[in-house]
Structure 1
Amino acid sequence: MKKLFILATILLFISCDKNNTSTSSISTGTKEITLEEIWGGEFSTDRMNALNSMNGDYYSLLNSDDEGNSKVDKYSYKTLEKVATIVDGKTLKGLNKFSSYSFNNDETKLILGKDFNPIYRHSFTGTFYAYDIASKKLVLIGKNIQVPTFSPDSKKVAYAKDNNIYIKNLSNNSVTQVTRDGKVNSIINGTTDWVYEEEFAFVRAFEWSNDSKFIAFLRFDESNVREFSMDVIGKKLYPTQHVFKYPKAGEENAKVSLHMYNTQTRATKKINLGAYEYIPRIKWSSAKNILIATTLNRHQNDLNLYKVNANNGSKQLLLNETDKAYVDIHDNLTFLNDNSFIWTSEKDGYNHIYHYDFNGNLINQITKGKWEVTNYYGYNKDKKTIYYQSVENGSINRGIYSIGLDGKNKKLLSNEDGNNRASFSDNLNFFINTHSTAEVPPIYSLHTAEGEMLKVIKDNAALKEKLSDYKMSPKEFSTISINGEDLNMWMIKPADFDENKKYPMLMFQYSGPGSQQVANRWNGTNDYWHQMLAQQGYIIACVDPRGTGFKGRDFKKVTYMNLVKYETEDQIAAAKKLAERSYIDEDNVGIWGWSYGGHMSTNCLLKGSDIFSTAIAVAPVTTWRFYDTVYTERYMRTPQENAEGYDANSPLNYPEKLEGNYLLVHGSGDDNVHLQHTMRMAEALIQADKQFDWAIYPDRNHGIRGGNTRLHLYKKMTNFIKKNLNNDKNKELKIKG
């Protein structure tokens, strides 16, 4: 296959050393990175605004003029040139600045939003308007509402407010209230509860039928779900409390049911889907008034796709998928004109694309091989071609491919190496590719659907040039043989590395199920921090253990029922094996991680005290008993069924093992991994008479950001590492900057 080189001025040279390590040669300067530069945005990449693909060969962008007025501009994929301004905020009374927009089906109307107020990580309320492009008429839909959505015939907008569903008729501005029983911390209609939003990754829980006659929606009865409360310190005399329903592992979930509302009769019917625990997806098929409802049992290893007839409420099983461990939820369900459908599954051991008829009979497996499909982009019915992303050129890389519906004529459309992400036009005639490697910053380029590059849009050459002034070290990619597996790893050495010297080593990892940290892609903010530490004499290493992703079902699901057990064993074994290298100081090996990675770093320090002397845990899980039902039980089942799996690897149960230096960090406003995890860990260590360092960031959520917070946190972590992970423990090193 022909390899595309999308920017001739940036060359990537690959060589192999005696340790079978892939390295990239880069020129290095003399400047050293500072924390202020990292968190001040000095190394931010030049990005493309999030584009919205339109009908035909066009896309739109949300822009602003010199006065800050918002506008939606239309562009041609063929030329990348602006062809029209669809809506200009300076002409809209009371709405010169808006933060979001969405089109109706024929792109004659838009919904414009402003004044957003967050609820959880992905949900928010706002003020929304409907705008008619031809008449330039602006109509208020509602204030403090959620997820407004046009009906397919564009005559109405459905939305959620105060846990109920409403429909606004745009022709006469009348409003119909679909549900009336919505109540905070009790009943939710049309949007999801906390755990669905976080773990099933969607907020809007209603869907218009293709003929605009029905609205299918989910109803959550969380009356019996136990409440979790967090003190919000704020700046007032008395703190307030944030109280919300949070189902912890083994506890009661919200009772979720599917309902069908008829817009003509204004009647609502509850749909009987049989026995299930979750309804993680609903989607209308190509067949008239046939909804596809996905159900999942509590163990999440038995998934059903049901065909639901909106007219009479009957259901028929379309597809059943089971797994000895769990079945992942995804959005890769596409219906063709003949009602056959495309679906992805791990059933042959790797995630691949399948084609079924509307009776659930397999027509063919489209992709095959010992590699994973990592993204499904769509199906071009005229060309009978599917577009997807995969790791078939190595699990640390991502390539863009096309393949026929019959599984023939596969073609690589992007660079072979590095990370390639495609944003296709609605008609799948063009795509904008984002390509990067560990040494090449993101390059945005326009391609035809056949892979021909038409134009480089942004190349981040200025950032590449800026970094040439800094003392940068390449990431060295390799594998390390641990516990019978060849695990992916990278290592960063000081730029002036001398193999005759010994260096302290800091390991970084996340390690969660299906995740990946060892990837051939451009830097994130942590990478610059790691580079800063390397400049100051540290070796940084990262190993993806068993249980992480993109190497097949068995590799990922080996941790089932025993989260962090095998991952911890792999990190400890990797640290010991790396410490055998002559240039690594075996007495100065540390590890750090965030969230799942914080659980891991804590476990590694306690269970691997013979190799790890230092650990940092940021926002860590310390027992899966405290985490939510959907995520935890997917991998562990319930505590009632698997007490040993929960407790044998919880550091709360062996704090006496702490021998090294430990920094424990959490935000008090974390609604995901609650501060309870860290407070219980602190109490366990106190009662075991173990000294440790810790920091609590008031009202900060799981990301621990806002204002000066991130800079403060990374200064604290840097100081901790320099104090405790150093060849010369008596020498205090000053933080640069």
Structure 2
Amino acid sequence: MSSTKEHAVGTGWRRRLGKPKPFVLFLLFLFFTVQAGIAAIGYAAARGEELTIERMYSDPRLTGVTPRHLAWSPDGRRLAFLWNNEGVRFYDIWIYDASSGKLSRATDAAAIGRNAEEAMTRAEQDRLATFRRRGGGIFSFEWSPDGRSILFPFKGDIFLLDVKNGSLRRLTNTAVSEADAAFSPDGSKVAFIRENNIWVIDLDRCETVQLTDTGSETLYNGIGDYVDYEEVGRSRSFWWSPDGTRIAYVQVDVSPIRELLIPRYIGQFVEVRKQLRPVAGGKNGLERIGILDVKAKKTTWIRPTERRDVYFCQVHWNPDGCSLLVLEEPRDMKHLHFIKANAQDGSIDTLRTITDDKWVNIDNVYTLWTDEGKRLLFTSEENGWNHLYRMDLSTGKVDRLTSGDWQITALHKIDGRGRIWFTSTAVEPEQRHLFYLDGKGRIYKVTNGEGWYSSVIAKDAKRIAVTYSNPSTPPDIYILKDLKGKRFEASGSDQAVRPKKSERGGGSVPVLFSYRTGWPVPEHLKRVTFSPAPDFKKIRIALPYFFKLKSRLDGETVNALIIFPPEMEKVDPVRVISNKGEWKGKKYPAIIAVHGGGYYQSVFKGWRWQTLFDTYLADKGFVVLDLDYRGSSGYGRKFRTDVYLDLAGPDLEDEVTGAEFLKSLPFIEPDRVGIWGWSYGGFMTAAALLKRPGVFYAGAAVAPVTDWRCYDTHYTEERLGMPQDNEEAYRRSSPISFADSLRDHLLIIHGVGDDNVHFQDTVKLVDKLIKTKVDFEVMFYPGSQHGIRTDESRIHLFRKIARHFERYLKGIPDAECK
């Protein structure tokens, strides 16, 4: 049983209702007295076992291991995915038979020997760093076209799994590493990368043939560089033609990129890894696309044939096999060209160009062929929100298929009935649901309830698997029982609802509170995996209140959530916020958590990676606030690009709005508000304490960017342009520029082996802070990369953060911090 409470908050609430009658007051008093009593009983019963940081980062994982890489067999009868049913971060391939309901583990990766890490090329090491892999085991696989076998790489070699009998065939067994294995369309061959060249195995003849021979430490064939995988998001760099006679591939010359050094101090002597990661304003790798004739081993280069400083975001063969669709982004990132490339002679034709005077959001451009390659479906933000368009390749005519102040976040497939399946924010930004668009332009919503869905659709949409979660339920795999869907009337206006002039400012006034005391899994879902550990049910998960703020900067609506300590749930804190109840209890310290990425989203009705730590902090007596600041995903183009040329500008003002809101609450200690974050969140934390001294009393910045001149080209130049052209934008956006402003309690945490935000960023800031003669704290983790992944390090890290806040926000001496 669940309940939903919504509270309109603000002076307008009283004006609309007028002065209440005495009888009404009596009923309200009786109602809230009963509710308070029920809440107190519920609190006492639901407190559960104490959540510790040690339990959060110990095996078996409390929330289990999230299943990933879901893929239906070509006939749509079986679902394969990566998982561990014992809560240990070591992945095997599992197969679910949708007809029988049988679930079985298909591999035993732990029994496969040899670790090929030392045999990797530098290109593979740089790419591996971008995957942020947690744990071990198998990380990718591919169904054969006939569905009888599964191909997967593991520890540097390639394996073929017979799905029926479970036998394993080792396709390679070499001293070097093989990667990116891919079946030919007929399943008779497997292409892969070895030492930066493309190779092919003929499965019937058991022959291995090298197709390219120019690969070297600085010239990559069929494999991208760091920026391709980390920022551009290209998951692979070669593609079979539909008839299997040719392979399109990207060639990258990385020799112009300046090497960055990553030291490793653990050992008798210091070891150094040399990474090819370009920095803002520096030289990128140079790329071009070739069409490789598999039989002749000859390459035809797409025009212009010389290697250039561009980004190839997507490459797709047309179903007719005669041409390629290439999505090419110039270095300035203000354009995205849709290019048709002739596969015979390499000639090109520009079909369409998406333009944005800030930057084109390539992460949200999805493409699908329709009508056997005669027309192309694609999404674009060109009208303010990411919507669906259809382009006729012969005429160039473009039709818009969806509209409204919502956006498409995934484009899945077109089924045999012509229905276009997609995921979107059409319900609200805090949720993701599955929809389809029929041939008459009508939208149908397929998933029900509240929560966060990630969908994988089988052939002709006969079966659909989803990874579903909500604020109290970690992600697991489910099968949709009902695929019909219900007609959905989406908003038809592209104009975001802007606050009226009279409503601008006043960041301390929330618009609406929404809270559920329970989050049931929707009934239309059939559960496949059960990931959480048995003791997960004994833990009381802190559930969020969702609400909206108006930014102090310009009145823009900012989505937020707030979590209260357990003892505050004896009463309804929202009644106090809305001046409908008097607060007579103690005052609490508060912490704002800042999400990473800059473009991520943390205010949503799904399981959040920081849910357990938020619960831990709440149990320790902290109020926790999180908000989706400017630049976050899900809120349209303007919201995303408001940070252009001004990082830690509008986004930081949104965080300050959150701080002002907290300080206005009668149960918050106004001079005991802290802030913490990781990566971009760490950058925002450092910027908050340095650019806005006095707003936050304490902060913990993990892996922060402190000088944007040191970060990679694509991400940084999207938002700040070239440093040579925008020196002032880089200065005001970099926390290091304000090092002499530190007045509050800053803790900086970094992994020495970080290959994303290099340890250099922390060292540079520390050097500046020392010269200012102010006190601060630093914690580094030798050998750890950006995620600081080991259990021991994570336990130490989160204990360090918790103690930092207990010391400065609660006044507890170190000896008493537990």
What TM-score do the two structures reach when normalised by structure 1?
0.88
AA aligned to 2:438 is G
The 8 Å contact of residues 242 and 320 in structure 2, kept in 1 or not, is answered as: no
AA aligned to 1:58 is R
What SS class does the counterpart of residue 576 from structure 1 fall into? helix
2:556 paired with 1:489: no
Matches within 5 A, 1:60-139: 60-61=79-80, 75-81=96-102, 99=138, 101-115=141-155, 126-130=156-160, 138=169
Give the aligned partner of residue 478 of structure 1.
547
What SS class does the counterpart of residue 669 from structure 2 fall into? strand
Larger deviation, residues 501-510 vs 130-139: 130-139
Once residues 255 and 608 of structure 2 are traced to their aligned partners in structure 1, the CA distance between those partners, rounded to angstroms, is 45
- Cα deviations across residues 577-596 of structure 1 (Å, max 9, x unaligned)? 32011111111111000000
Give the aligned partner of residue 377 of structure 1.
412
Q: Residue 616 of structure 1: CA displacement?
A: 0.5
Q: Residue 108 of structure 1: CA displacement?
A: 4.1
Q: Does the C-alpha gap of structure 1 residues 566 and 112 become closer, same or farther in structure 2, counting only changes over 3 Å?
A: closer
Once residues 800 and 674 of structure 2 are traced to their aligned partners in structure 1, the CA distance between those partners, rounded to angstroms, is 15
AA aligned to 2:241 is S
Q: 2:432 aligns with which of 393, 398, 401?
A: 398
Once residues 110 and 588 of structure 2 are traced to their aligned partners in structure 1, the CA distance between those partners, rounded to angstroms, is 59
Once residues 745 and 112 of structure 2 are traced to their aligned partners in structure 1, the CA distance between those partners, rounded to angstroms, is 59
Q: Does the C-alpha gap of structure 1 residues 137 and 289 become closer, same or farther in structure 2, counting only changes over 3 Å?
A: farther
Larger deviation, residues 632-641 vs 337-346: 337-346
Q: List gaps (5 residues or longer) in structure 2.
A: 14-34, 116-135, 487-522, 572-582
What SS class does the counterpart of residue 410 from structure 2 fall into? strand
Matches within 5 A, 1:305-704: 305-330=338-363, 332-339=366-373, 340-359=375-394, 361-380=396-415, 382-408=416-442, 410-442=443-475, 444-447=477-480, 448-451=482-485, 456-458=526-528, 469-470=538-539, 472-482=541-551, 483=553, 484-497=555-568, 499-500=583-584, 501-510=586-595, 512-524=597-609, 526-704=610-788
Give the aligned partner of residue 264 of structure 2.
232
Once residues 75 and 531 of structure 1 are traced to their aligned partners in structure 2, the CA distance between those partners, rounded to angstroms, is 33
Give the aligned partner of residue 190 of structure 1.
222
Once residues 417 and 195 of structure 1 are traced to their aligned partners in structure 2, the CA distance between those partners, rounded to angstroms, is 36
Q: Residue 535 of structure 1: CA displacement?
A: 1.5
Q: Does the C-alpha gap of structure 1 residues 242 and 64 become closer, same or farther in structure 2, counting only changes over 3 Å?
A: closer
Give the aligned partner of residue 289 of structure 2.
258
The 8 Å contact of residues 64 and 532 in structure 2, kept in 1 or not, is answered as: no
* Structure with greater helix percent: 2
- Cα deviations across residues 487-542 of structure 1 (Å, max 9, x unaligned)? 11111111112733211111111264432111111243x22222222122211111
Once residues 53 and 416 of structure 1 are traced to their aligned partners in structure 2, the CA distance between those partners, rounded to angstroms, is 24
The 8 Å contact of residues 160 and 190 in structure 1, kept in 2 or not, is answered as: yes
Once residues 187 and 552 of structure 1 are traced to their aligned partners in structure 2, the CA distance between those partners, rounded to angstroms, is 39
Q: List gaps (5 residues or longer) in structure 1.
A: 1-10, 116-125
Q: Residue 31 of structure 1: CA displacement?
A: 3.4
* Aligned pairs, number: 704
Q: Does the C-alpha gap of structure 1 residues 717 and 76 become closer, same or farther in structure 2, counting only changes over 3 Å?
A: same
Once residues 732 and 308 of structure 1 are traced to their aligned partners in structure 2, the CA distance between those partners, rounded to angstroms, is 65
- Provide the alpha-carbon RMSD of the alignment: 3.3
AA aligned to 1:490 is L
Give the aligned partner of residue 520 of structure 2.
none
AA aligned to 2:101 is L
Once residues 674 and 265 of structure 2 are traced to their aligned partners in structure 1, the CA distance between those partners, rounded to angstroms, is 34
Once residues 244 and 292 of structure 2 are traced to their aligned partners in structure 1, the CA distance between those partners, rounded to angstroms, is 11
What SS class does the counterpart of residue 12 from structure 1 fall into? coil
AA aligned to 1:515 is Y
Once residues 266 and 459 of structure 1 are traced to their aligned partners in structure 2, the CA distance between those partners, rounded to angstroms, is 45
Once residues 715 and 35 of structure 1 are traced to their aligned partners in structure 2, the CA distance between those partners, rounded to angstroms, is 7
Larger deviation, residues 327-336 vs 254-263: 327-336
* Structure with greater strand percent: 1
The 8 Å contact of residues 286 and 336 in structure 1, kept in 2 or not, is answered as: no
Once residues 71 and 688 of structure 1 are traced to their aligned partners in structure 2, the CA distance between those partners, rounded to angstroms, is 52
- Cα deviations across residues 323-368 of structure 1 (Å, max 9, x unaligned)? 1111122462111234211101111110111111123634532221
Q: Residue 48 of structure 1: CA displacement?
A: 4.6
Give the aligned partner of residue 291 of structure 1.
324
Once residues 208 and 530 of structure 2 are traced to their aligned partners in structure 1, the CA distance between those partners, rounded to angstroms, is 49
Q: Residue 164 of structure 1: CA displacement?
A: 1.4
Q: Residue 284 of structure 1: CA displacement?
A: 0.5
Q: Residue 110 of structure 1: CA displacement?
A: 3.7
The 8 Å contact of residues 197 and 220 in structure 2, kept in 1 or not, is answered as: yes
Q: Does the C-alpha gap of structure 1 residues 660 and 87 become closer, same or farther in structure 2, counting only changes over 3 Å?
A: closer
What TM-score do the two structures reach when normalised by structure 2?
0.80
Once residues 687 and 400 of structure 2 are traced to their aligned partners in structure 1, the CA distance between those partners, rounded to angstroms, is 41
- Cα deviations across residues 650-683 of structure 1 (Å, max 9, x unaligned)? 1211211000101001001111000000000100
Once residues 198 and 45 of structure 1 are traced to their aligned partners in structure 2, the CA distance between those partners, rounded to angstroms, is 27
Q: Does the C-alpha gap of structure 1 residues 645 and 288 become closer, same or farther in structure 2, counting only changes over 3 Å?
A: same
Q: 1:215 aligns with which of 247, 264, 277?
A: 247
Q: Residue 17 of structure 1: CA displacement?
A: 3.4
- Cα deviations across residues 674-725 of structure 1 (Å, max 9, x unaligned)? 0000000100101111211001100100001214110011111111111111
Q: Residue 398 of structure 1: CA displacement?
A: 1.4
Q: Does the C-alpha gap of structure 1 residues 576 and 179 become closer, same or farther in structure 2, counting only changes over 3 Å?
A: same
Matches within 5 A, 1:271-282: 271-273=302-304, 277-282=310-315
Give the aligned partner of residue 7 of structure 1.
none
What SS class does the counterpart of residue 427 from structure 1 fall into? helix
**Quick one: percent identity of the two aligned structures?**
26
Q: Residue 253 of structure 1: CA displacement?
A: 0.5
Once residues 75 and 464 of structure 2 are traced to their aligned partners in structure 1, the CA distance between those partners, rounded to angstroms, is 13
AA aligned to 1:208 is W
Q: 1:55 aligns with which of 65, 70, 74?
A: 74
- Cα deviations across residues 364-410 of structure 1 (Å, max 9, x unaligned)? 32221111111222111x211011111112111112111114422x1
Give the aligned partner of residue 24 of structure 2.
none
Once residues 245 and 549 of structure 2 are traced to their aligned partners in structure 1, the CA distance between those partners, rounded to angstroms, is 58
Once residues 406 and 605 of structure 1 are traced to their aligned partners in structure 2, the CA distance between those partners, rounded to angstroms, is 54
Once residues 488 and 503 of structure 1 are traced to their aligned partners in structure 2, the CA distance between those partners, rounded to angstroms, is 23
The 8 Å contact of residues 196 and 223 in structure 2, kept in 1 or not, is answered as: yes
What SS class does the counterpart of residue 171 from structure 1 fall into? coil
